[in-house]
Amino acid sequence: MIGNYNPENTNIQASELPPVKENLLVQIWHNRKARTGIMIIGFFAIFGIIGQIHTPYPASFDNFPTWLPPSAKHWFGTDYDGHDVFSQFMYGTGVSLYVGAAVALIAVSLGTMAGLVSGYYGGIVDNALMRFVDILLILPTFPLLVILSTYFKPTVTSTIIVIGILSWPFMARVIRSQILTVKQRPFVQASILAGMPGYQIMLKEIFKFTLPLIIINAVYIFVGAIVAQAGLAFFGLGDLASINWGTMLYYAQSQDAVIYYAWWWIVPPGLSIAILGIAANFFGNGITEVFGERAGEV
Amino acid sequence: MSDNILLIRNLETDYSLGNGGYVKAIRSLSLDVRRGESLALVGESGSGKSTLALSIMRLIEKPNKIAEGEIIFLDKDRDISVLKLGEIGLRLFRWKKVAMIFQSAMNILNPVMRVENQFIDTFEAHNIQDDYNQRINKYLTIAGLGKKVRRLYPHELSGGMKQRVSIALALSCEPELLIADEPTTALDVVVQREILFELRQLKNSLNLSIIFITHDLSVASAVADRIGIFYAGRIVEIGKKNDVINRPAHPYAKLLLGSIVTLSTPRGKELSSLEGTPPDLSKEIKGCSFYERCPSHVKQCLTYDLQPLKVGEDHYVECLRAQELLDSEY
Amino acid sequence: MITRRYLIVRSSYALATAMIAITLNFLLPRLIPGNPAAVILFANYHYLPPGKVKLLDSEFGLTTNNLGIEYLDYLKQLFLHFNLGVSFSYYPATVANLIETHLPWTLYLLGVSTLVSSVLGVITGRWIGWRAGSRGESVTSSIFIGLTSLPYFWLAIIFILVFAFMIPIFPLSGSFSITIIPGPTLAFLGSVITHSLLPIITIVITTFPAFALTMRNTMVNQNKEDYLLMAKAKGLPKNVIEKRYAARNAILPVTTHIVLAFGYIVSGAFFVEVVFSYQGIGYLLYKAVTSYDYPLVDGIFLMITITVIIANFVADLLYAILDPRVELR
């Protein structure tokens, strides 16, 4: 758990989850909570992509007067060095979201793979993997992130890799327990008896039952990674020349923005992280509700 | 008129479907339970037997509800209208007047409390002044358990032992009426027989009235004085054990009895089987609820007002053609 | 119940995890090509006479030996002398020394906030869980979801901005007022408490809602349990059912959550320390990271990890006491 986004807080019963069907997307969209979550995340995504193509002023242009409060010319004012904060925020949104998405991709692949293998094959493989997961879960993530980031070259990519390889254990465990229950279902037992190869059973029969969990976990990891990256940057780790929510807060803190009452510099990135967190929780709860309703169908 | 302990009149219990709709699990049901008798209610799962039990204890919780009717408990000196009881009145009524043995004993005991404490909190709730230790020992012994069980946690007990603890618990406040909801289904046959035997003994020695709920006719015939047959939220036939088993009048009861093989079933006798499914209880049912599946139905069944017909001494059937069918068959 | 087997298995887990952390701590600095520590050392101390550099080399453990021998030596130094090396940036202070002076502050922050946060979380969670479905409950739950999403360090900055600058009711930074001489006096104690209030409030606000939400969910799930139905059937008073049946069982998964979150609280405390310039381990780590003080970063990592492992172990024992069913699979 890197962020405070704890998937356990959703009321989900892994064993009750049905497989994903086509009309599921429609059903998710009809759930108010899930839709709110998707719309908030979608808004940030679009905002961030636009920020990569166009910002009111170049994000790294620093010749404006310093510490200007918000105005029509500078919506979010300017910072200690005379950057336009809105332009920085717009550009930084894209970078932060990219970090989140890339980490989610790495962690979800690792977590799903580990969970599938562990849950399906059981035995020694399962034991070894799960003990490893136990140990990773006990190790405090943030100090581990700090020490790894201290030794690796500070680039955005290295930060992504470091956060990615530390974000999968919890998910692997959830997926594994889901597979253990699915494995007991008659149709899987039938496939095993029929001599279908293990990888085929996993891909054809079991994988679809883990999709809901994968979706939920992906969103939590996505937001968790944005928080983790911001945290690292705040500690002065990672690529401090990159503009993102984390480095904005880092400079706001190290350049004593509070002394200048420069709330316009502090509020946008922090509040955005909080709103994304709320969106993830909405989404997770919504998905849980949708699957809760559908659980009876299978 | 024999001495009754519980009167149920026109009871309707509804289960919420979550979309504003309701399923009528109990449909305008009336029933008298006699003091000192053992009444078995038999029916398929989903017929509403357990709902009736929970309704008597008023354990039906929102969004489900008891929509209509009356439940009267005839105490020695006064009548208690169960559905009108306030919070404290209800609390004191439960377990002291009517106690219950639940269907699954596996999870019925609080896993983090020692067995004895689950007796003591009940005694405290009902202001029982006796020596707790003696009382716990007494009822554990009655239920066939040793004193050592007291200090154990539920996970240290076997399924059969848990069921015995729950029997001891049910008896420990000396209720007048005991509802046993499938008390033995989760247990293996040997334990099942022992427990049934003990319950029957207890009934006689403690002067209890028992409502036995089961889907198993052989269990019912082993323990009951009277048998009631449950179908789609109503009791469709009720009478003395031997009458119902030997001369069932309702077509459903006949089919139910006919589908059981016993040692005395003649070889070669064709087993009857039930076709179709019970009616959808979320919709209004006109006339007899068994109409669709009934081999002997006639047009009049659809307008039948469900007045039970007397077909013998203490033997009532909810079927228009009951007498006619009885006469033709026996 | 704590059986001997439980004790043995749990403690061997803890030991194995600790050994992995220690080994990682040993290997990481040595796996990096062109030891960055040496580079930094050279940059800072290049004016030192050659003899002194050699001495420093051995003090920092930078001598190139066989890896196996180095490992054994490292373990010996660690376990026998609690020697974690010498700090670059605070030279000649040892890492162990620095940790020793900063640790009490962090333990104080962590201890108080974990305690307050878990008690508050369990109490509020129990309250809203028992009233699930009501309007008050759904509003409270939504607010809690919002609170769990606030990043620690951001909330800390906002608090400083609001409560130390705009409405100056709390001290701005530090662990105690610099005008007071540390000692067993009431003035010092008062200063320590006022300085720690805002950091503690920050940590508590961002952590307790998660505990409360977990407690809420487990309380709600209790309603599905047969023993709760039984408790009602037995005619027990509502408060007894809530306390001895629902809450008593609901708290079990919550303890696990609190334990899992402990590592998270540790890192939260670090951020808060940095923002408030609170003289704890987190602040020290921040200083170490920003001045490339590798031995100090390593030492702190090791110390934190072992603290968290011990906390986990203690919590495991606590759990076994709380839940009579635990006998270890």
Nearest one of C271, C74, C29 to A143, comparing CA atoms: C271
Task: Give the model's pLDDT for residue C54.
Answer: 53
**C119-142 residue pLDDT tens:** 999 999 999 988 877 888 888 888
Average pLDDT, chain C: 81
The whole-number average pLDDT for the span A54-83 is 84
Task: Give the model's pLDDT for residue B121.
Answer: 93
Q: Give the minimum alpha-carbon distance from C261 to chain B in angstroms, rounded to a whole number.
A: 24
**Interchain CB distance below 8 Å, C214 and A237:** no
Measured between beta carbons, the chain C residues lying within 8 angstroms of A244 are: none
Q: Do the Cβ atoms of A130 and A221 come closer than 8 Å?
A: no
Q: How many helices (H) and strands (E) does chain A have?
A: 12, 0
Helix, strand, or coil (residue A78) = strand
How far apart are the C-alpha atoms of B132 and C263, rounded to whole Å? Answer: 47
Measured between beta carbons, the chain B residues lying within 8 angstroms of C233 are: 57, 59, 94-95, 99-100, 102
Instruction: Please list the residues that pair with B31 across neighbouring strands.
Output: B8
Going along chain A from its start, the domains and CATH numbers come out as 35-56+72-297 (1.10.3720.10)
The whole-number average pLDDT for the span A257-275 is 87
Cα A129 to the chain's mean position, in Å? 23
Residue A10 pLDDT greater than 50, yes or no: no
**Interchain CB distance below 8 Å, C233 and B57:** yes
Residue A97 pLDDT greater than 90, yes or no: yes
Cα A134 to the chain's mean position, in Å? 21
**What does the block give as tokens for A74?**
């500078």
Measured between beta carbons, the chain A residues lying within 8 angstroms of C270 are: 142-143, 235
Phi, psi of B188 (to 5 degrees): -75, 165
Q: Compute how many other C-beta atoms are within 10 angstroms of the C-beta atom of residue B292.
A: 13
- Position with higher pLDDT, A102 vs B248: A102
**pLDDT-derived band at C205, boundaries 50, 70, 90:** very high
- CA distances to B45, B93, B252, B253 from B248, rounded to whole Å, are 20, 36, 9, 6
The predicted complex's ipTM stands at 0.86
Q: Give the minimum alpha-carbon distance from C271 to chain A in angstroms, rounded to a whole number.
A: 8
**Interchain CB distance below 8 Å, C232 and B99:** no
How far apart are the C-alpha atoms of C223 and C246, rounded to whole Å? Answer: 8
**C59-118 residue pLDDT tens:** 555 555 577 787 888 888 888 777 777 887 787 788 888 998 998 899 899 889 989 999
Q: Give the minimum alpha-carbon distance from A5 to chain C in angstroms, rounded to a whole number.
A: 7
Provide the phi-psi class of C34: left if phi over 0, else alpha when psi is between -120 and 50, else beta.
left
Task: Give the model's pLDDT for residue B259.
Answer: 67
CA-based torsion, A173, A178, A181, A184: positive or negative: negative
Residue C56 pLDDT greater than 80, yes or no: no
Task: Report chain B's terminal Cα–Cα distance, integer Å.
Answer: 28
Q: Do the Cβ atoms of C219 and C245 come closer than 8 Å?
A: no
Measured between beta carbons, the chain C residues lying within 8 angstroms of A236 are: 286, 289-290
Residue A39 pLDDT greater than 60, yes or no: yes
How far apart are the C-alpha atoms of C13 and C189, rounded to whole Å? Answer: 39
- CA distances to C121, C123, C201, C207, C208 from C117, rounded to whole Å, are 6, 10, 9, 6, 5
**What does the block give as tokens for B261?**
């093989």
Provide the b/e sequence for C243-258 (b: ≥16 CB within 10 Å): ebbbbbbbbbbbbebb
Task: Give the model's pLDDT for residue A49.
Answer: 93
Q: Compute how many other C-beta atoms are within 10 angstroms of the C-beta atom of residue B173.
A: 21
HSE-up of residue C292 (Cα within 13 Å, Cβ side): 15
Edge-to-edge strands of the sheet including B65-74? B22-34, B4-16, B65-74, B79-81
Query: What SS3 string covers chain B?
Result: CCCEEEEEEEEEEEEECCCCCEEEEEEEEEEEEECCCEEEEECCCCCCHHHHHHHHCCCCCCCCEEEEEEEEEECCCCEEEHHHCCHHHHHHHECCCEEEECCCCCCCCCCCCCHHHHHHHHHHHCCCCCCHHHHHHHHHHHCCCCHHHHHCCHHHCCHHHHHHHHHHHHHHCCCCEEEEECCCCCCCHHHHHHHHHHHHHHHHHHCCEEEEEECCHHHHHHHCCEEEEEECCEEEEEEEHHHHHHCCCCHHHHHHHHCCCCCCCCCCCCCCCCCCCCCCCCCCCCCCCCHHHCCCCCHHHHHCCCCCEEEECCEEECCCCHHHHHHHHC
Task: Give the model's pLDDT for residue B261.
Answer: 56
Compute the 3-state secondary structure of chain A and give helix, strand, coil in percent, each to the nearest 5.
75, 0, 25
Residues in chain B predicted with pLDDT less than 70, given as ranges, are 1-2, 18-19, 186-187, 259-275, 330
The whole-number average pLDDT for the span C148-173 is 83
**A175-222 residue pLDDT tens:** 888 888 777 777 778 888 888 887 788 777 788 778 888 888 898 899
Containing H/E element for C213?
helix C186-222
Q: Compute how many other C-beta atoms are within 10 angstroms of the C-beta atom of residue C324.
A: 17
- CA distances to A214, A270, C93, C106, C206 from C145, rounded to whole Å, are 21, 16, 44, 27, 10
Is B212 part of the contact surface with chain C (CB cutoff 8 Å)? no
Residue A108 pLDDT greater than 90, yes or no: yes
Phi, psi of B268 (to 5 degrees): 85, -10
- CA distances to A92, C48, C256 from A50, rounded to whole Å, are 11, 53, 43
**Interchain CB distance below 8 Å, C263 and A253:** no
Q: Give the minimum alpha-carbon distance from C237 to chain B in angstroms, rounded to a whole number.
A: 7
Helix, strand, or coil (residue A112) = helix
Residue A151 pLDDT greater than 80, yes or no: no
How far apart are the C-alpha atoms of A49 and A54, rounded to whole Å? Answer: 9
Edge-to-edge strands of the sheet including B234-240? B98-101, B177-181, B209-214, B38-42, B226-231, B234-240, B315-317, B309-312
**Interchain CB distance below 8 Å, B125 and C236:** yes
Residue C42 pLDDT greater than 90, yes or no: no
- How would you class A72 by CB atoms within 10 Å of its CB: exposed for 0-12, middle for 13-18, buried for 19 or more? exposed
Provide the phi-psi class of B97: left if phi over 0, else alpha when psi is between -120 and 50, else beta.
alpha
Is B5 part of the contact surface with chain C (CB cutoff 8 Å)? no
Measured between beta carbons, the chain C residues lying within 8 angstroms of A266 are: 154, 157-158, 161
Q: Compute how many other C-beta atoms are within 10 angstroms of the C-beta atom of residue B174.
A: 15
Residue A99 pLDDT greater than 90, yes or no: yes
CA-based torsion, B257, B260, B261, B262: positive or negative: negative
Task: Give the model's pLDDT for residue B92.
Answer: 92
How far apart are the C-alpha atoms of A132 and A136, rounded to whole Å? Answer: 6
**pLDDT-derived band at C214, boundaries 50, 70, 90:** confident
DSSP-assigned letter for residue C242: I
| Four-way CATH pick for B4-97+175-262+273-329: 3.90.1170.50, 1.20.1260.10, 3.40.190.10, 3.40.50.300 | 3.40.50.300
**Interchain CB distance below 8 Å, A275 and C149:** yes
How far apart are the C-alpha atoms of C299 and A32, rounded to whole Å? Answer: 49
- CA distances to A48, B103, B154, B159, B317 from B118, rounded to whole Å, are 59, 18, 10, 17, 42
Q: Which residues contact C50 (CB under 8 A, 6 or more apart)?
A: none
Residue A13 pLDDT greater than 80, yes or no: no
- Position with higher pLDDT, C258 vs B236: B236
Q: Do the Cβ atoms of B155 and B111 come closer than 8 Å?
A: yes
